[in-house]
Structure 1
């Protein structure tokens, strides 16, 4: 009897784990189809019915995962932001110099601007109503952006402490300037219009940014 009692909780846990995995896989598939439909039709012409049809599930099942269309969009933004934050955290833990770390983050950003996802996000944010709904749902720019700012701030502070960056420039100024370099609105037209490659943009932007903030000893 004792052995049976020990086995039953384990079996229950396994079933729960399987259900959760299936639920996550279904949510991921819904997001994948939602991204495709949004890219094709835009936010206002996208319907939950079509997303459900493409996934092959009932509309009600979509609502079990995402209560509204804007919740789907929020989930897409959060997924992308979490992925970017994870990348930045990994870069921050390397033994590279502050400049190399920041260049990695720039490169990752600019290479992503070639993709359809960036085009989708820019189209969504160009709509005032969608942008306002996103801000209301996410509570501003989202905790991922705050976390990303902390990661970059730590890189900048470490660069100052190592004598790699100009310690006379306040870190908040360095941080806000760098975050501005990550904006798709600023640089996507250059990459999308094939005026420069992502690698070239990293080099040019890096020259503008780093030559202004490197410590005198780092520049010599």
Structure 2
């Protein structure tokens, strides 16, 4: 008897997995959690972590503070979860890029997404080196896991773009990557919008041009 047939014959029948539908209470809980994270994302985008308070989050969501703590037991966990969700969205953008696309075009596409998210109020401010959230993020395994995936993917594009002659050899990979991260939170975006002379799409393209081509 062939090995494949032997394995199949000796293997127990696999029962189809039973998909448990969430209860109404579970759906409500998840909907409230999504609302909480949306509010947190907006606050992090405008004020940053250090100025955010749990009282403010609860008030904006329209729930009691004890209800907020049923979802997140601390301000640190709340912010770490919101930042993890942001990285999930960034990873989706990375996966959406065509494999055959030039590496530099992939970097530009992801930067465009980040700049657009910033203008729409959906890009949290990066934590400063002195921010108390940094340690919370380092201790939050899901965040660290996704951050590694993100930096690995962007790092590979940077190296490939360098091989293709699109990035100067004397500029370290880290500098290129950190510059891209910083552009996503650049206040220049808001300053340009406040002039009333440019649409969001024009601002995004101007920022991408300056980031990759400089002022020449």
> TM-score scaled to structure 1, two decimals?
0.65
Match of 2:153?
151
Task: Quote the offset at 1:87 in angstroms.
Answer: 0.8
Report matched runs for 1:75-154 at 5 Å. Answer: 75-91=81-97, 93-118=98-123, 121=125, 125=127, 128=130, 131-132=131-132, 134-139=133-138, 142-154=144-156
Task: Quote the offset at 1:21 in angstroms.
Answer: 4.4
Match of 2:178?
180
Distance 1:179 1:56 in 2: 38
Local SS of the residue matching 1:121: coil
Worse overlay, 73-82 or 38-47:
38-47
Distance 1:151 1:48 in 2: 34
Which structure has greater helix proportion?
A: 1
CA contact (8 A) 2:115 2:183 kept: no
Task: Quote the offset at 1:186 in angstroms.
Answer: 8.6
Match of 2:8?
none
The number of equivalent residue pairs is: 190
Task: Quote the offset at 1:112 in angstroms.
Answer: 2.9
Residue deviations 1:103-144 (CA, integer Å, cap 9, x gap): 2122223333323344x525xx3694xx22x11111178333
Distance 1:39 1:156 in 2: 27
Structure 1 gap ranges (5+):
1-5, 212-220
Task: Quote the offset at 1:187 in angstroms.
Answer: 6.8
Are the structure 2 counterparts of residues 78 and 109 from structure 1 closer, same or farther at C-alpha, using a change threshold of 3 Å? same
Local SS of the residue matching 1:67: coil
Worse overlay, 47-56 or 67-76:
47-56
Corresponding position: 1:165 with 2:165 = yes
Report matched runs for 1:185-200 at 5 Å. Answer: 188-194=186-192, 197-200=203-206
Task: Quote the offset at 1:176 in angstroms.
Answer: 1.3
> TM-score scaled to structure 2, two decimals?
0.66
Task: Quote the offset at 1:71 in angstroms.
Answer: 1.8
CA contact (8 A) 1:89 1:151 kept: no
Residue deviations 1:8-37 (CA, integer Å, cap 9, x gap): x95xx5345766544332211122234456
